[in-house]
Amino acid sequence: MFFRGTATAAGSMVLVIIAAIAVFLVVKAIPAINKDTVNFFTYKEWFTDGDEPKFGIAATVFGTILTAALALLLSVPVALGIALCLSHYAHRRVATTLGFIIDLLAAVPSVVFGLWGRDYFYEPITDLSKWLHDVFGWLPIFGSDGPYGKSVLLGSVVLAIMILPIVTSLSREVFLQTPPENQEAALALGSTKWEMIRTSVLPYGRAGIIASVMLGLGRALGETIALALTLGSVFAINWDFLGPGGITIASNIANRFGEANDVGRGALIASGLVLFVITLIVNMGARAIVYRRREFVGGAA
Amino acid sequence: MAVETPVRLGVTDARQLRAKSLPTWAPWAAVVAAVAVSSVLIKLTGAGGWVLTGVVAAILFVAFMGIAASVVEGTRSARNRMASVLIYGAFILALLPLLSVVWTLLSKGSKRLDVNFFQTSMNNIGAFDEKGGAYHAIIGTLEQAGIATLITVPLGVLGAIYIVEYGRGFLANAIRFFVDVMTGIPSIVAGLFVLSFWVFTVTPLWNNGKAAYSGFAAALSLSVLMLPTVVRSTEEMLRLVPGALREGSYALGVPKWKTITRIVLPTALPGIVTGVMLAVARAAGETAPVLLVAGGLSSINFNVFSGNQSSLSLFIFEQAGVASEFAPGRAWTAALTLVVLVLVLTVAAKLLARRNKLAR
């Protein structure tokens, strides 16, 4: 009975921790929000020093969603391609090795990606920005005259590279679980390999793909250090991808925490609470999809 | 009456029965043609450098293959070929950043890869000093990750035992669901949680009402991040232990707790160790929580319970922000050290997983 009680307590710790995260963030956030002299949800700038602190999360929430959405847009097609390559195209022994390499990509710490993006990847993105501005400058998103470099584009591309392995490994698992009967039936009816994938593999894996994309989204929303190093940290809401700009809730916390006073820390905790709620909703949605699917598949999707 | 000879259908060769297909050299011809056309288009008109040439060549290659296949083999086959090309292309596209990261790490990280780097801290190192090392940061990473492991492993393994061996009904389902949800909690939120719980609420109780940043707080936030990973991988391993082993033990009259500790856990041990190592590898690379709750320090501090501490990832982040010609060298060498540490753990864990007899 003692052992059982200990195990139950340990299991319940997960629920306790999640509840505690919510409680403590709220407790520490409320005093700061009460001192805020402007609307916390609609104000764009972040001035926490002085007698009349003014701060709001509008720009950071917009930036968080914009960067994450761009990163997903860039990485999901590539990730699904890699997953199909590993599950259906490459030779099995080759696929195992290559899958291992993709898993290693997932193990590289985010600060290393951030440093790489800021010190090295910066240059090709600057060139790309110039080219995009020259050729497609009439589009508002590419309208900026520079200086190019630390921008929404750089941050989203680095973020896309970082979430690639997550989406890849999950959707590969799902693709590998397609019943061979479905695939063989498609092939026996004379379909080409691509038609087989389109008619049997992709429909079967739809829920799994959605779940993996949402998990990638969850990771993208919460990514901190890589974006703190590669975004321009400008509090503004606009659709300029190339110029100095871009900020997210997490990168703002990382950049401002060092110099923050009491109110400043409370304000950052309050913005962290918003991030926690957003990621919680995204993750619960993803897990709900996976769970509903598991009931009739019975696999480890 | 003469025997009629069968009408010949015009088939003289078995190959005529098959649909027409592109010769095996066709892709190579398409590559050559694409590169030639693109270099003529881009280089001669001066529209861009070799990068644009490569991109245009890749697009032309897909187009040429599609056109050739649709002329010779038909539309369906053309679509099939283009899909194959794009899928392999996605893979090559993903390898490029990986290779670039590895190359940058090796070339820039080797600059400061000397004995001095691993034996000194950043104490008394000014912006214009050349030396300075990451000894204090390596200590911080090892101690914080070690303590986080000590906290997480008992908690995580017991939690997984509850889910697999005891848990029934609503509570077990809720715990399983929230373990999965907890996997997605951003590291910075874990850091903020420990900041407001441990640093701002608990430590003032014995620190004269002042908040105390420490390495232990960093270890706490890392364990918040590790816990769901450890529970999840342990749960999967425990489920793979054959039921017959448990039943045999019960039949001999062994109580349930002893069956679990003596039969189930040892059987699942290699898999559990793999999961823990992967979790440690991920936690060791986290920067955000350490930044928030350990405070950072440039000198050596072995004591995790008192005084600020640094860690390798935090050291990289700090050095990345220093305006000095020597800071990038230190940051990259620290990055190389961290990646080697993390990769050694990950590869060892994967090799261990391969020897695991329970795994599929």
Report the gap between the CA of B303 and the closest CA in chain A (Å): 22
Q: How confident is the model at residue A299 (pLDDT cuts 50, 70, 90)?
A: very low
- Mean pLDDT in residue range A199-203: 91
DSSP state of A151: B
Please identify every stretch of chain B with a pLDDT value under 70, giving residue numbers as ranges: 1-11, 14-16, 46-48, 127, 357-360
Can you give the pLDDT at residue A101? 84
What is the pLDDT, as a whole number, of residue B359?
57
Is the minimum CB–CB distance between B328 and chain A shorter than 8 Å? yes
ipTM for the complex shown: 0.89
Chain A residues within an 8 Å CB radius of B343:
104, 107
Among A129-138, A159-168, A182-191, the minimum mean pLDDT is found in A129-138
CA distance A177 to B73: 31
The pLDDT, as a whole number, for residue B47 is 66
A19-23, A221-225, A290-294, range with greatest mean pLDDT: A19-23
Q: What burial class does residue B168 get, using C-beta atoms within 10 Å of its C-beta: 0-12 exposed, 13-18 middle, 19+ buried?
A: exposed
- A239 in helix, strand or coil? coil
The answer to whether A275 contacts chain B (CB < 8 Å) is yes
User: What pLDDT was estimated at residue B78?
Assistant: 87
Whether residue A45 has pLDDT greater than 80: yes
- Find the closest chain A residue to B95 by CA distance: A102
User: Cβ–Cβ of B285/A109 closer than 8 Å?
Assistant: yes
pLDDT for position A297:
46
Angstrom distance (rounded) from CA B124 to CA B302 = 18
Radius of gyration of chain A (CA): 22
Q: Which of residues 179-198 of B touch A (CB under 8 A)?
A: 179-190, 192-193, 195-197
Mean pLDDT of A205-213: 86
Q: Which residues contact A267 (CB under 8 A, 6 or more apart)?
A: A32, A33, A36, A46, A48, A53, A55, A260
A11 — contact with chain B (CB < 8 Å)?
Answer: yes
A-chain CB neighbours of B328 within 8 Å are 119
Among A155-159, A193-197, A283-287, name the one with the lowest average pLDDT: A283-287
For A191, nearest residue in chain B (alpha carbons):
B76
Task: Extract the tokens encoding B138.
Answer: 């390596």
Query: How many Cβ atoms sit within 10 Å of the Cβ of residue B223?
Result: 26
Closest CA to A85 of A164, A5, A30: A164
Of B154, B165, B197, the CB nearest to A24: B197
- Banded model confidence at residue A298, pLDDT cuts 50, 70, 90: very low
What's the gap in Å between the CA of A229 and the closest CA on chain B?
8
Which of A219, A230, A113 lies closest to A169, judged by CA? A219
Cβ distance B27 to B65 under 8 Å? yes
- Give the number of A-B residue pairs with CB atoms closer than 8 Å: 269
Q: What is the pLDDT of residues B281-328, one digit of tens each?
A: 889 988 999 999 988 888 888 888 888 888 999 999 988 888 788 888
Report residue B44 as tokens: 């001669």
Four-CA torsion A207, B241, B160, B181, nearest 10 degrees: -10
pLDDT in tens, A252-268: 999 888 888 888 889 99
Residue A56 token pair: 């709001």
- Position B11 scores a pLDDT of 67
The DSSP line for A26-73 is HHHHHHHHHH-SS-TTT---EE-SSSS-EE-SHHHHHHHHHHHHHHHH
Rg (alpha carbons) of chain B, rounded to whole number? 30
B209-252 residue pLDDT tens: 888 889 999 999 999 999 999 999 999 899 989 999 999 999 99
Question: With an 8 Å Cβ cutoff, is B209 touching chain A?
Answer: no
CB contact under 8 A, B162 and A11: yes
B101 to A223: CB separation less than 8 angstroms, yes or no: no
Query: Is A113 in CB contact (< 8 Å) with chain B?
Result: yes
> Per DSSP, what are the bridge partners of residue A55?
A46
Q: What is the dihedral of CA B346, B350, B352, B357, to 10 degrees?
A: 150
**pLDDT at A102 (0 to 100):** 84
User: pLDDT value at position A158?
Assistant: 92
Helices (H), chain A: 2-35, 58-84, 92-107, 110-116, 122-136, 152-176, 180-188, 193-196, 202-204, 206-222, 225-230, 249-256, 262-297
CA distance B309 to B218: 9
| Chain B contact for A247 (CB, 8 A cutoff) | no
Tell whether the model's pLDDT for residue A19 goes beyond 50: yes
Interface probe for A, chosen from B189, B213, B260, B340 (most Cβ of A below 10 Å), is B189
Q: Judging by beta carbons within 10 Å of its beta carbon (0-12, 13-18, 19+), is residue B18 exposed, middle or buried?
A: exposed
Mean pLDDT confidence for A25-32: 91
Q: Are the beta carbons of B90 and A223 separated by less than 8 Å? A: no
Stretch 70-99 of chain A: residues touching chain B, C-beta under 8 Å: 77-82, 84-86, 89-90, 98
Mean pLDDT within A183-206: 91
- What tens digit of pLDDT does each residue of A131-150 get? 888 888 888 778 777 778 78
pTM of the complete model: 0.88
Residue A1 CA: distances (Å) to CA of B2, B130, B159, B233:
99, 62, 15, 25
Those of residues 178-197 in A touching chain B at CB distance below 8 A are 192-195, 197
Mean pLDDT, residues A56-77 taken together: 92
Query: pLDDT value at position B5?
Result: 60
What pLDDT, on the 0 to 100 scale, is given for residue B151?
94
A214-239 mean pLDDT: 87
8 A C-beta contact, residue A151 and residue A122: no
CB contact under 8 A, A250 and B90: no
Query: A300 pLDDT exceeds 50?
Result: no
* Angle (CA) A76 A111 B182, round 5°: 65
Helix (H), strand (E), coil (C) string for chain B: CCCCCCCCCCCCCHHHHCCCCCCCCHHHHHHHHHHHHHHHHHHHHCCCCHHHHHHHHHHHHHHHHHHHHHHHCCHHHHHHHHHHHHHHHHHHHHHHHHHHHHHHHHHHHCCCCCHHHHHCCCCCCCCCCCCCCCHHHHHHHHHHHHHHHHHHHHHHHHHHHHHHHHCCHHHHHHHHHHHHHHHCCCHHHHHHHHHHHHHHHHHHHCCCCCCCCCHHHHHHHHHHHHHHHHHHHHHHHHHHCCHHHHHHHHHCCCCHHHHHHHHHHHHHHHHHHHHHHHHHHHHHCCCHHHHHHCECCCCCCCCCCCCCECCHHHHHHHHHHCCCCCHHHHHHHHHHHHHHHHHHHHHHHHHHHHHCCCCC
**pLDDT at res. B48:** 67
